[in-house]
Structure 1
Amino acid sequence: MTLALTCFVPKLPFSKKRIFLLLFWVCTFHFGQAQKTRDSLVQAIRTLEQSTNFIEKDTTYVNLLSNLGSELRYYRTDSLFLLSEKSLRISKAIQYAKGESRALFNLGNYHSDKGNSSNAIAYLEKSLQKATEIKDSLFTVRIHNDLSGEYAYNGNYAKALSGYLLSIEQAEKLNDLKMLSIINENIANLYASQKDYKQALEFYKKVKKINAEIGNEIYSAETMSNMASVYADMNELEYAMFNVNASIAIFEKQEIIDWLAYAYEIKGKTYLKQNDHKWALYWYRQSEALHKKIQDERGRIDLYNGMAEAYFGIGKDSVSKHYALHAYDISRKLKFKEGTQKCANTLYKISKKGKDFATALTYHELYSKLSDTLSRNENKKSLTMLKTKLEYDEQKRDLILENERALAQQKKYVYAALSILSIFLIITFLVRRNENIQKKLNIELNANKEELEKSERELTEINETKDKLFSIIGHDLRGPIGAFQGLLKLYRDGEIKQKEFLEFIPKLGTDLDHISFTLNNLLSWGQTQMNGAITKPSVISLDGLVSDNIKLLSEIASSKSIKIVSRLSANTLAWSDGDQIDIVIRNLLSNALKFTPENGMITIGAAEKNNHWEIFVRDTGVGMDKETQEKIFAENSSHTTYGTNNEKGTGLGLSLCKEMVEKNDGSIWVESIPRKGSCFYFTLPKAKKEYQKTA
């Protein structure tokens, strides 16, 4: 049988706040064949050593030692270290730079797996220096990638992102699709660590396209495993289960044990998110059984903590504590803050349930301390990554400008040489050049003028947006927050008792709901005003969006005894941006609830027209006069009134609805009779049949 050698993107064994393991470009055999490969390497080394003319200082011998060390990485880490040390010693003695670079690279991997990040970086940098000296371009890209991963593990996201961007450029020049797949997945994982799942999924989609071009199902399975972990963190559990099941089928068929252990752990995490502790434990145990055959300390942290949570869920607290402590010890050993944080939280819950309040308090304080640290770090990460990307783009622009200046200088030399041929040509050249310079100056002057005028308009718009934002924050958010602070102060100072304080809870809940709704509208409106919202239409079910929002607002409706009725059929499919239309429906229903008195009724339905849907939201509320109807959709309008129970709004809702409906090629209007009620209408394009089939 021919051995199937594959190079892979290593798994990311940490969910939620994921710390990136180096995405090593190491080669591994399918597990059923891996032992044969190791045995054949051992046999080749022994045969060479026992030959009569054997000398240790041989490049073939050095390469065999490095290859065997790589194969033993996840099975006998001490052997990886000893073989790499020996390979390095011999390579130095015979001045074999390629052997030195490989040996240093393997030693960097060894120290990374042991959690010795500083040593790992030192060895990888030495390996990079050697590879650069001998101009080993392919291996240089791999080392740059691993170094970036190690910097990410240490929290130096600026250096990590710079390294990944540099690696992408080098890999593109070499047309190295495998490395492009790995590096783009690394960048996806950086965004996932900051819970920027939308951006992470964009990069994952790019990786899937590259994997499809490569045509290797194992690469695709590895990417699907990482995507499954991200979908689980997003609580998109159906997508998580689909991806992890697809990857498991491939890993089981190919018998790739380390990735299979990771995929089983992700499947256990997905069931745990569903509170199905029985099946979660089943898959965690499958992963645990495979971990006994490999040496992957980092991979065990989430596995054991997940098992602890699952056992805690079924009431086996002593077993839960055993696994949580095991995961906690590994996290502390590897100085892994996110792992320590999660384990501390699990141990806090276990200790609290067991009434060991002193221990529970210790773990809770540790969890809070790490949460504060990580929260601060997360804020810095986003800004650092953005700043690094901008700096990198600026450096690229500077290089392009330098090249253009160099080309311009070369042109001057050419013109100078030609000028020797004829005085007439010199004069003609100078005249033409002056004319061109004058034209360019005029063009640049006009361009600068237009740019300044554009900047002035943008600055004016930004100031107007800023003033409106501060107005909303000052009037609509500061009030409820200030009331909440005042109430807490009275409670802390003992001026009101606990019973009196609890009586304010319903009012505080209403205030917090108002703040949350206001912030959602504020953020959506701010995005459209400052950056411009990007509309991404797809086939959406209006019935599903309406049902979700009715559930979301059911508590408010119940508090006013208002009945909300949906008359939309299941086949009401539109071609629009689902997120934007969700905001429109939520605001219209919220407005209807706000202005409908108790025991009222709200009806939402849709009428099918030639090529669009006409959706309506009708209420039995207070209605409005003609003057008010003309104001509510006016540009830059902030018209707002109090609801029937003195509910307060920002005045952004209907303005936001108008913008988002129009971005989806629709229109919005209102019909209203004072003291009878209002009916808001808006239109959306119907989904075409070919899109419906695809959906």
Structure 2
Amino acid sequence: MFLPFYSSKGGIICIVALLLFTNSVFSQTSKRDSLLFEINLQRKAKDFNLKDTVYINSLIHLAFEFRYHNLDSVAVLSNESLSLSEEVDFTKGKIESYINIGGFYSDKGKVDKAIFNFNRAYELSHNFNNPKLKVESLIELSTEYSHQGNYALALEGYLEAIEIAEEMNLTILLSIINENIADLYLTQKDYDEAMFFFKKVKRLNEDIGDPIFTAETMSNMASAYADMNELEHAMFNINQSIPVFEEKRIIDWLAYCYEVKGKIYLKKGKNKWALYWYRQSEMLHEQIQDNRGKIALLNGMAEASLNLKKDSISEVYAQKAFDISKKIDFKEGIEDSSKLLYQLNKKQNNFQKALSYLEIYKTMSDSLALSDNQKALNMLKTKMEYDQQKQQLILENEKALAKQKTYIYIFIVILVIFFVIVLIVRRNEQIHKKLNKELLSKKKDLEEKQHYLNELNQTKNKLFSIIGHDLRGPIGAFQGLLKLFKEGEMTKKEFLNFVPKLKVDIDTISFTLNNLLFWGQSQMNGSTTTPAVTNLNAIVEENMSLLSEIADSKSITLMNRIEPDCQIWSDPNQIDIIIRNLLSNALKFTPNNGQIIIGAIQKLKNCEIYVKDNGMGMSEETMGKLFQKDANHTTYGTNDEKGTGLGLSLCKEMVEKNQGKIWVNSALGHGSSFYFTIPRATEHYKRSA
């Protein structure tokens, strides 16, 4: 009931062919690339052994990464890893290989074969001391029971998995199980019960702290809210999920998110927008193999096209959905697509075909209605039996605890006596520890004072260095020009020709002195941050006005994309310095006729501000030095403008004092984009102010 095992020799040939054939495909996926590279290294090693468990594990992990991307590769790799695991009696390898083979059959729609392989993995895990693998095999087996329509067995398996996961504190697996149970209730349209489990999952995800887990849950909740016609909740959840999957390039989940967003717009009656997002999902589906997910997408596109009176296009999508649903025996998909095909054929006066699809729809609808009622009863019965068994175990446990109370009381008395003895011993120890602590404290104070003096000395040296190098030069040049003019060696006209350059130098000196004052104050622990409700757009406009002359001299376009009512919670003086430094830097490194854009993305709790230019860009090495506290890295601008290397260090300090963070994206010849976050001025902050 599963793929025939390759012999060791035949398996090696298949694996090598697979690696060579798919090498270019994997170049876009770092995780698969990494595994392929690792396998190639292992095979080239002089002491390579085909039966090495490290090599077998690499094959298993690579097969897992191929799911939803290349099912043939999953089959080849999984059968090879299973064959090798059996030869060396590697139980962990056998369990994980059976799970991968089960996943292959599940995605092919061959539920019985999938259940067989997942069940083999579960049976092997019983005698193997690895609770995590036991829970994983139970989850896969129960999920396949739900695909089969046996919801009672699915729920029973999930509940057993929860018992083990809670006992072993497997938080990630608990999150997955509860989300799968929520999905079971969604199929029954029991939204209250489904949302109860989704909320449990959200609490677990907070403990896990992985944004990908949170995004997966929110995308599933978005789909549920769409089915409940709570479309604003649905849109909020899906918009929170999409950026995470786009950033991490998780294509299968991103395709699902785009499909859910299309469904939300479809329910809103915005069919053109629905089709737009469905097409985004369709393009991603070309890179993955997920027939169940594709059915919902195709039916959605068919319905949106039908609403837009594009009947021929609608029929193509509905027919594709119908064919795939029949192929993998997906009853819900057959029901939805046959209903659409009935409507389309009826509209085209093709009554014979319309009648045949209507009969299919009616048969499938009645079957699902009867099946759903039975499933709901079975789920309720299973849950009640589980609760009764759990309650019985609790009662038996309480009886056992009551018998142990007498022994516990005796033990407590002995423990108290022992505790008194320990206290006496500890008292003597504490006297010695107190003396040691006093010595250590005095030593620590001396070290801290020495460190503080060293920092002050470094600050002094840096100040003198900047004053001597970056300020003395322009001032000396200015003095020289004045002397030449005063002594008559330079005419008034010649002197006036230098005025524009003198103004630029004086502006640079003023800007540098301003940065030095703030930096010096912060280094001497004299800088305080006083947050208030601040209008970001006003600060940006003021700085753009101040720097407009420099921009005009280089014919650089300054663009402000910040909304007029964008309010943040920050120290306005410090934000002013941050904006001025970032804009000044951008002007410095942007060539003539360039463009600088400053904007802000208002998120739920904070505001992400960016300054983008199309200037020189930076190397990875340069970016690594930008925000270092003690760095004095200076680069000349496109017109040989000078700098102290101090501005970005000052920006970092002030952003962090305002509860934000700062970073940069850049590449040589492609410009630079500086980003920093600042808390938004929410009602809480306004009341505080």
**TM-score category, normalised to shorter length:** 0.5 to 0.7
Paired with 1:413 and 1:290, the residues of 2 have a C-alpha distance of: 65
The one-character-per-residue Cα deviations of 1:270-297 (angstroms, maximum 9, x if unpaired) are: 1111221111110100000011111111
**Counterpart position of 1:241:** 235
CA drift of 1:331 comes to: 0.4
Contact (CA 8 Å) 2:205, 2:214: kept in 1 or not?
yes
Question: Which residue in the other structure is 1:153 paired with?
Answer: 147
Paired position in structure 2 for 1:63: 57
Q: 1:136-176 CA deviation, whole Å, 9 max, x = no partner?
A: 11111111111111111111111111111111111111111
Q: Which amino acid aligns with 1:388?
A: T
Q: Separation in 2 of the partners of 1:137 and 1:103?
A: 17
Structure 1 residues not aligned, in runs of 5+: 1-30, 415-688
Decide whether the 8 Å contact of 1:111 with 1:117 is kept in 2. Answer: yes
Listed as ranges, the matches of 1:349-368 within 5 Å are: 349-368=343-362
SS of the counterpart of 2:29?
Answer: helix
| Alignment deviations for residues 71-95 of structure 1 (CA, whole Å, 9 cap, x no partner) | 1112111011111101111110111
Query: Which residue is equivalent to 1:133?
Result: 127
Which residue identity is paired with 1:295? Q
Q: 2 CA distance for matches of 1:237 and 1:243?
A: 10
Amino acid at match of 1:148: S
Which moves more between the two structures, 369-378 or 331-340? 369-378
Rounded Cα–Cα distance in structure 1 between residues aligned with 2:138 and 2:114: 13
Q: Contact 2:85–2:93 at 8 Å: present in 1 too?
A: yes
Q: Tell me whether 1:397 sits opposite 2:385 in the alignment.
A: no
Quickly say closer, same or farther: Cα 1:209–1:54, change in 2 above 3 A: same
Contact 1:75–1:295, Cα closer than 8 Å, also in 2: yes
Residue among 313, 316, 336 paired with 2:310:
316
Amino acid at match of 2:142: S
Q: Report the equivalent of 1:345.
A: 339
Aligned-pair RMSD on alpha carbons?
Answer: 2.3
Q: What does residue 379 of structure 1 align with?
A: 373
Equivalent pairs, count: 387
1:96 to 70, 90, 101: 90
CA contact (8 A) 1:331 1:337 kept: yes
Offset of residue 133 of structure 1? 1.6
Q: Is the 8 A contact 1:142 1:179 kept in 2?
A: yes
1:270 is matched with 264
Aligned to 2:171: 177
Alignment partner of 1:302 is 2:292: no
How far residue 43 of structure 1 moved from its aligned partner, in angstroms, is 2.2
The answer (yes or no) to whether the contact 2:27–2:33 under 8 Å persists in 1 is: no
Task: Return the offset for 1:47.
Answer: 2.3
Q: What is the distance in 2 between the residues matched to 1:124 and 1:190? A: 19
Q: Deviations over 1:81-132 (max 9, x none)?
A: 1111011111101111111111111101111111111111111111112222
1:36 aligns with 2:33: no
Which residue of structure 2 aligns with residue 331 of structure 1?
A: 325
User: Aligned pair in 2 of structure 1 residues 197, 32: CA closer, same or farther (>3 Å)?
Assistant: farther
1:229 aligns to 2:223 (yes or no): yes
Give the Å deviation of 1:404.
5.2
Identity of aligned residues (%): 51
Query: Counterpart of 2:200?
Result: 206
Distance in 2 (alpha carbons) for counterparts of 1:200 and 1:107: 30
Give yes or no for contact 2:69–2:287 (8 Å, CA) kept in 1.
yes
TM-score (norm 2): 0.54
Cα distance in 2 for residues equivalent to 1:413 and 1:231: 54
Structure 2 counterpart of 1:623 = none
Shift of 1:54: 2.1
The range that moved more, 132-141 or 320-329, is: 132-141
Tell me, in whole angstroms, the C-alpha distance in 2 between the residues paired with 1:410 and 1:178: 35
Please say if residues 75 and 104 of structure 2, whose CA atoms lie closer than 8 Å, have aligned partners that are also in contact: yes
Contact map agreement 1:124 1:143 (CA 8 A) in 2:
yes
* Structure-2 change in CA distance of 1:244 and 1:407 (3 Å): closer
**Which residue type is aligned with residue 335 of structure 1?**
D
Any conservation in 2 of the 1:74–1:296 contact (CA below 8 Å)?
Answer: yes
Cα distance change, pair 279–252 in 1 and its aligned pair in 2 (3 A): same
Deviations 1:381-417 (A, max 9, x none): 2211111111111112333344456667889999xxx
Q: In structure 2, what is the Cα distance between the partners aligned to 1:220 and 1:41?
A: 26
Q: Secondary structure at the match of 2:289?
A: coil
Pair 1:73-2:67 in alignment: yes
Matched residues in 2 for 1:40 and 1:413: separation?
57
Give the residue type in structure 2 aligned to 1:377. Answer: S
Cα distance between partner residues in 1 of 2:279 and 2:290: 16
Q: Secondary structure at the match of 2:156?
A: helix
Distance in structure 2 (CA, Å) of the matches to 1:404 and 1:91: 45
SS at match of 1:134: coil
Equivalent residues of 2:26, 2:33 under 8 A apart: no
Q: Do the aligned partners of 1:258 and 1:291 also contact (CA within 8 Å) in 2?
A: yes
Shift of the alpha carbon at 1:33?
9.1
Equivalents in 2 of 1:323, 1:80: separation in Å? 28
Aligned partners of 1:57 and 1:322: how far apart in 2? Answer: 49
Hey, what does 2:529 align to over in structure 1?
Answer: none
User: Which of 95, 112, 115 is residue 118 of structure 1 equivalent to?
Assistant: 112
State the TM-score, normalizing by the size of structure 1: 0.53
CA contact (8 A) 1:45 1:64 kept: yes
Separation in 2 of the partners of 1:229 and 1:268?
10
Give deviations 1:561-586, integer Å, cap 9, x for gaps. Answer: xxxxxxxxxxxxxxxxxxxxxxxxxx
Q: Secondary structure at the match of 1:294?
A: coil
Compared CA separation, residues 410 and 359, structure 1 to 2 (3 A): same
Match of 1:54 in 2: 48
Looking at structure 1, the residues matched to 368 and 49 of structure 2 have their Cα atoms a distance apart, in angstroms, of: 54
The aligned amino acid for 2:236 is F
Contact 1:32/1:255 (CA < 8 Å) preserved in 2?
Answer: no
Q: 1:167 aligns with which of 149, 154, 161?
A: 161
**CA offset at residue 36 of structure 1?**
2.1
Question: Structure 1's 407 and 240: CA in aligned 2 closer, same or farther, altered over 3 A?
Answer: closer
- Give, as a single letter, the amino acid of the residue that structure 1 aligns with 2:374: K
Match of 1:567 in 2: none
What's the CA shift string for 1:240-294, capped at 9, x where partnerless? 1111111112222222211111000011111111221111110100000011111
Contact map agreement 2:226 2:234 (CA 8 A) in 1: yes
- The structure-2 alpha-carbon separation of the partners of 1:44 and 1:239, relative to structure 1 and needing over 3 Å to count, comes to same
Whether contact under 8 Å (2:222, 2:238) holds in the other structure is yes
TM-superposed CA distance for 1:46, in Å, is 2.1
Which ranges in structure 2 are unaligned for 5 or more consecutive residues? 1-24, 409-682
